[in-house]
Amino acid sequence: MRYPFFITWYRQWFKNHEGIKGFAHQCMNWLMRSTLKLAANLKKRNKQLAEKIKELSAELSDRILHPTIDADEYAAQRGKIRTYGIILWICIIGEAFFNFFASKALFNFDGWLAIAAQTIFAILMTWGGISLFENLFQQLLHEQPYKGEHKEPRHWGKLITLIILAIGYEAFTYYICKVRGIMIEGGDGTGFIATAMMIAGMLIPIIAGYYAYEKRRFISPYKNTLRIEKLKKLIAANEYKIKANLQKMETHFKQTCQELWAYLQEFKTYKENYNRKHSIPQEELTGHYAASQESFIKEAIERYKKEALEETPLTPTLIITPAQQNGHDAEIKELFAH
């Protein structure tokens, strides 16, 4: 039996003629201490989540104003962008390899310094060549971006400059490939290796530049669509966390109320037996919140309202189905929605 524990640990209330009321007050203090501590932590977290939702919603509102890919086109456009990306990477790797191989014509010495120089040269040539032809195709084709509202006028000065640079790039590529071919095959640089290097070195940047240009036309709406979907998921996840925290506060409050009410009833039984054994008049509980579970919960709700700190209302509010509502559930839910 737990009677020895109660009589030892709570002896002061057993000796008190109004011990049940006193112990009920102690139970209420335990309830407030437990509930308010948890509620303060979770409300602080919910406030942070609400601020995060506000930030994400502001970004979402802004992004919706910009072009996106429609749902019926999304799969096709995504496949197109991925295909362009694969082709582009193949071209970059191939062009970098040929540039590294051909750069031996310029860095005709051995050692780590030569390897480092060849690597830097290959990177710069590959990046510069693809960027050059990407911008050249943009000026030459002069197409409107996917779902673009405005089309910038063609810049003739820029177009002429890019054409001159493209011719210079191709001439330089032809020269170093021919020199490298002569180094390998001898003769006048018209052998198979030299010719293959010339074709690959001069053609790959053009192909890569075109697909880079095509990808750029679609990539902004595609990325914007992905970001919008991610923002929606983040907002939904944060709203779910707020709901879960509100539900956790409500559940904790109800469970603690039930546990402490049961604890109070156990004490009440021992106290009444103690009173009879020691000829102490039975305690009158009429009008006191210890008289019934309903009045105990009602008192807990009133005390929480008085002691809880005021918080800015959080959205979305917790939704309780009719099947879940009983007793003071509606009042308890309202406690933690603020």
Is the CB of residue 326 less than 8 Å from the CB of residue 250?
no
Q: Which residues are within 8 A (CB) of 302 and not within 5 positions of it... i.e. 6 or more apart?
A: none
- CA 65 to CA 70: how far, in whole Å? 14
Q: Is residue 227 part of a domain?
A: yes
Q: Is residue 317 part of a domain?
A: no
In this prediction, residue 311 carries a pLDDT of 42
Look up the domain containing 130 and give its range: 64-236
User: Which residue do the tokens 């737990």 mark?
Assistant: 2
In this prediction, residue 323 carries a pLDDT of 40
Beta-strand (E) ranges in 29-187?
none
Q: Is residue 150 part of a domain?
A: yes
In this prediction, residue 210 carries a pLDDT of 92
With cut-offs at 50, 70 and 90, classify the pLDDT of residue 188: low
- CA 256 to CA 27: how far, in whole Å? 10
With cut-offs at 50, 70 and 90, classify the pLDDT of residue 322: very low
Q: Identify the CA nearest to 225 among candidates 19, 33, 68.
A: 68
Q: Is residue 252 part of a domain?
A: no
Mean pLDDT value across residues 254-269: 86
- Over residues 30-58, the pLDDT tens digits come to 888 888 888 888 888 999 999 999 999 99
Q: Is residue 302 part of a domain?
A: no
**What does the mean pLDDT of the chain come to?**
81
Q: Identify the CA nearest to 290 among candidates 20, 52, 11, 31.
A: 20
Question: Three-state SS for 107?
Answer: coil
- CA 168 to CA 166: how far, in whole Å? 5
- Angle between helix 112-141 and helix 156-185 axes, rounded to 10 deg: 140
Q: Is residue 186 part of a domain?
A: yes
Domains held by the chain: number: 1
Q: Which residues are within 8 A (CB) of 55 and not within 5 positions of it... i.e. 6 or more apart?
A: none
In this prediction, residue 314 carries a pLDDT of 39
Is the omega angle on the peptide bond into residue 153 within 30 degrees of 0, that is, cis? Answer: no
What percent of the chain clears pLDDT 90, i.e. is strictly above it? 18
DSSP 105: G
Beta-strand (E) ranges in the chain?
none
Q: Is residue 84 part of a domain?
A: yes
Q: Is residue 11 part of a domain?
A: no
C-alpha dihedral (277, 282, 288, 289), degrees to nearest 10: 30
